[in-house]
Amino acid sequence: MKNNNKVSYSYCSGYNYNEIKRAVDNIINENQNLIDILKSKKGLKVLIKPNLLAARHPDKAITTHPVALQALVDHLQQYDCTITIGDSPAGAYNKNVLDKLYQTCQLKDLENAENVSLNYNLSDEVAEYLQGLSIKKFLVIKPAMEADLIINFAKMKTHTLTRLTCGVKNLFGLMPGVVKFRQHIAMPDIRVFSNMLVDINGFLEGKVFTFVDGIVGMEGEGPSNGNPRFSGALFGGWNAQAVDVLACHIMGMPIDTVSTILDYKSIEDIELKAFDEVKIYQFNLPPVRNRSIPDKYPIWLQNLLTNMIVAKPIINKKVCKGCNVCVEACPAEIIELQTKKAVIVSYPKCIKCYCCQESCPYGAIKLSKPPVEKFFMLVRKFKGK
């Protein structure tokens, strides 16, 4: 579906099943080529890939809402397909983790529908993408490799590393378990990391249709430590980058601060029939890494300024429960438990991937807001960007 920049949008007033089912029906019916694929063969293998970052209640707005997934599963019942619902969350990837994930994210009931199963296949396969900008070979969970069609059902959230996590970033979850941490350490530069996300999307191009649950998204220190924020938006399309452009528009996020969609300059670059119906908001945005520094500066200056502005993870010892999750999540292996509290023992080795902040179940890790970062944010505000 190369160059298909069409995005379909529906507004929902909340997680009301009937309203969401209508919205899902509308989005699919607006995309005849998706229906054609769904009808193309008996027993079509469909993988629904929600955002299941961590085992959290749906009200936290961290994961794709189960009512939205139920509406999609119910819509798909009219086609002759087998449906697997699966994701590889942050951290460990095993049966116990998946059990807890499905239970807490309230997905267990989805298996009541015919031909629907929650994924417990832990195997993976090497994907080869020779035109990749950042990676040419990488591991992908088996159900994604075997699927005829992947329905990527992302959550619309701010992200302290990539600024936005939505359609493009959601496919990072197709890399199994801790392999994701290794990618962080191998790619500390946000632009290299973002190109890797685009590569994963490129490899799967043509077999991924993206939906976004932005009905209640997240603002602030996403993807897991921000605050739920209503926008009523449910939208989707074949091109995850075009879908993410609409997410930026809805959230009031400058497109040029999201490194995965730099080919797009404005909302006018996408095809959006329901443009006048789209409700836009001003989400609180997270501290940024180096995208706030203009590209026209020489690389050495960008690197120097990056070191001056980059937000550091700070552990609040009063909130820390000593659960060890961040210790296991840190790809640089610089967090230790000392007298039952987490401590970052070597800031110079910190690659600012924010996996620790993302994975802390108690919100004990916040990001510093250095003065230079605040200065660039003010400049942007002044320029109205």
Question: Which residues contribute to the site for ligand SF4 (CB under 6 A)?
Answer: 313, 315, 320-326, 329-332, 334-335, 342, 344, 350-356, 360, 362, 364-365
Which of 297, 296, 292, 313 lies closest to 374, judged by CA? 292
Q: How far is the CB of 329 from ligand SF4 (least distance, A)?
A: 6
The least distance separating ligand SF4 from the CB of residue 361, rounded to whole angstroms, comes to 6
| CB 193, min distance to ligand SF4, A | 12
| C-beta of 140 vs 365, nearer to ligand SF4 | 365
As a whole number of angstroms, the distance between CA 312 and CA 354 comes to: 8
CA dihedral 55→57→58→64, nearest 10 degrees, is 0
Residue number, 281 or 362, with CB nearest to ligand SF4: 362
Among 75, 60, 11, 74, which Cα is nearest to 234's? 11
Q: Shortest approach of ligand SF4 to residue 92 CB, angstroms?
A: 13
Please give the full DSSP string across 61-86, using - where no structure is assigned. SSS--HHHHHHHHHHHTTSSEEEEE-
C-alpha closest to that of 167 among 245, 280, 275, 270: 245
Q: Rounded to the nearest 5 degrees, what angle is found at the Cα of 370, between the Cα atoms of 375 and 309?
A: 75
Least spacing, CB of residue 364 vs ligand SF4, in Å: 4
C-beta of 186: minimal distance to ligand SF4 in Å? Answer: 12
Q: Which of 18, 339 has the CB closer to ligand SF4? A: 339
Smallest separation, CB 287 to ligand SF4 (Å): 12
155 sits in which H/E element: strand 149-159
For ligand SF4, the closer CB: 156 or 335: 335
Q: Which is nearer to ligand SF4, 175 or 364 (CB)?
A: 364
Comparison of 137 and 349: residue with beta carbon closer to ligand SF4: 349
CB 54 within 8 A of CB 361: yes
**Would you state the structure tokens that stand for residue 290, as one six-digit string?**
């180096």
Cα gap 337→330, rounded to integer Å: 12
**What residue has token string 């070597």?**
346
Comparing CB distances to ligand SF4, the nearer of 267 and 350 is 350
C-alpha distances (whole Å) from 29 to each of 23, 26, 34, 37, 38 are: 10, 5, 8, 13, 12
